[in-house]
Amino acid sequence: FEFDTLIINGKIATASECFNGDIAIKDGKIFAIAPDLKSLKAKSVIDAEGAYVTPGGVDGHTHIDQENTPGAKDYPYRGCDGFESGSRSSVAGGTTTFLAFAMQHKHRPDHSLSDVIGHYHDLATGNSYCDYGFHLIITDPKPERLAEFPKLIPEFGISSVKLYMTYDSLKLNDYEILHTISTARKAGITPMIHAENVDIITFFSEELEKLDLLDPYSHARSRPALAEQEATNRAIVLSEVMNVPILLVHVSSPGSVQRIRKGQGKGLPVYAETCPQYLLLTDSRLQHPNYEGAKCVCSPPLRPSKEDLDGLWNGCRNGTFTIISSDHCPFRMYSDEGKAVAIKDSGKPGGDWRLIPNGIPGIETRMPLIFTFGVCTGRLSIERFVQLTSTNTAKLYGMYPKKGSIIPGADADLVIWYPQDKYKPTVLTNEMLHHDCDYTAFEGMEMLNWPRFTVLRGQVVWDADKGEVTGTKGYGEYVSREPSWFAKNQVLFDDITQTAWKNEWRPQFDRPLFK
């Protein structure tokens, strides 16, 4: 009996423990984990040299080849990464599976959800270096569309939908949200909510416009933290009313963290996501001269202070945050003529933040940044790192334990890091990255480690020693997902409505580990 690959001398870290050991891989799956497997025969051997071996990263929030990503004025921008460049960048940063958005368009009421999903499959099939799945974005929850929800898991393997509370072209009102999340619950689908109060944003935007304040920093002023906190609170209330688990995406402010924690303290199934940009960058980045601040425009915006960053790190440490995703949403800063895109499109020499698409790239930098600023600084234990960047994402979105785990039978998706004493601290530059974007908002940060090898279903798809992506386009597979692993464990109590509702989640208690 010959194994395909042995990974030896690893410091194997999972969501719950860390131990020295070897891993044997056969047919793309983890076959055995033991203190010493060096006597086994294998076609190839990777010596981890005592470095951490963690599950491959699972990025729960990416915009890949998505049409019509919002700018403040709903100007229809298309991101600069398709499945090929996005997935190439993903593996080079240790992420072996990402979830991208399949977006329903309000202006195409004739498109069924199946049409929308088919469109994104066409874009992705044959083009991806890593595994991927889809969330649906619902912008028009009319009855015919909600009637499609029950087939999303059985037919399409999609167990999550994103809803927006802001942007005119995307937003749902509370009534529409209630309808959508109650339908989602019955179908075992987890709603993800973009929580910002649209009226506060509209009011502030108009005031800034009157004052002719159109620089990138003013984008952040138009979306104050309280707009996020109010909508976060409202989303939690709507989820409580309907007794539906929800995930709050890209949470940027400690005030929102506190509201989420309060809900969780009541026993509500409220989950939350933050992103490296909210943990590491402040809005001083937007005040850069020469319009460079446009590179850091995202929604919700970067927040002002170190206390904001600390408050979010606290949420990562204390369990309020379930996952850290990239929100990879890349747009080129410069047009082919070398002009900043928002200056060119606005025709104003000073540019106009209302024409800056909202989002920054980050699929490749997410794992190394959180490793550097979380694990290496001692802010996060290695186990908590694994939870936040991989295992919890796989559980939350119904891919566990195939993804996000190091156990026999799971996909052999792994990151082998550098032994800490072998890695020479490296200053991050955009030239190191594999996306199709012309900048990274994290330029100049000192990295203290980087994925040395990324392994996807047993294949080495990124080799940092060689400095190259060694996987092939098209190797990446679609991941058909099940209902959230978390929802099945919801212990709902103290309310008759909740007790009455909860049976619908029950079938999942009987779900076997592997089919």
If the CB atoms of residues 98 and 462 are measured against Zn ion, the closer one turns out to be 98
Site residues for ligand DUC, 350-409, by CB under 6 A, read 358-359
**Cβ neighbours for 127, distance < 8 A, ≥ 6 positions apart:** 82, 83, 84, 87, 473, 474, 476
For residue 105, the partner it binds in ligand DUC, Zn ion, none, with Cβ less than 5 to 8 A by kind, is: Zn ion
What is the token pair recorded at 134?
């889809």
358 binds, among ligand DUC, Zn ion, none (CB under 5 to 8 A by kind): ligand DUC
Q: Which is nearer to Zn ion, 194 or 434 (CB)?
A: 194
Min separation Cβ 284 and Zn ion, Å: 23
Q: Residue count at the site for ligand DUC (CB under 6 A)?
A: 9
| Secondary structure class of 55 (helix, strand, coil) | strand
* Torsions phi, psi for 428 (to 5 deg): -70, 130
250 makes contact with ligand DUC (CB under 6 A)? yes
Closest CA relative to residue 403, chosen from 57, 127, 19: 57
| Residue with Cβ nearer Zn ion (148 or 327) | 327
Runs of H (alpha helix) within 187-244? 198-210, 216-221, 225-242
Q: Which of 62, 90, 159, 299 binds ligand DUC (CB under 6 A)?
A: 299
What is the closest distance, in whole angstroms, from the C-beta atom of residue 371 to Zn ion in the complex?
22
- Residue 266 CB, nearest distance to Zn ion (Å)? 25
CB of 192 to ligand DUC, least distance (A): 9
C-alpha–C-alpha distance, residues 446 and 388, integer Å: 22
User: Contact with ligand DUC (CB under 6 A): which of 70, 216, 263, 301?
Assistant: 70
Which residue number, 331 or 450, has a Cβ lying nearer to ligand DUC? 331
Q: Cβ(257)–Cβ(279) under 8 Å? A: no
Residue 39: which residues within 8 A CB-CB, separation 6 or more?
Answer: none
Strands 270-274 and 246-248: parallel
Q: Note whether 88 binds ligand DUC by CB under 6 A.
A: no
Please give the Cα distance from 137 to 148 (Å, whole number). Answer: 14
- Each as own residue / partner, the long-range contacts of residues 16-21 (CB below 8 Å, 24 or more positions apart, any chain) are 16/383, 17/383, 18/52, 18/382, 18/383, 20/50
Contact flag: residue 243 with ligand DUC (CB under 6 A): no
Question: What is the pattern of x (binds ligand DUC, CB under 6 A) and - over residues 186-225?
Answer: --------x-------------------------------
Q: Which residues bind to ligand DUC, rule: CB under 6 A?
A: 70, 194, 249-250, 299, 327, 329, 358-359
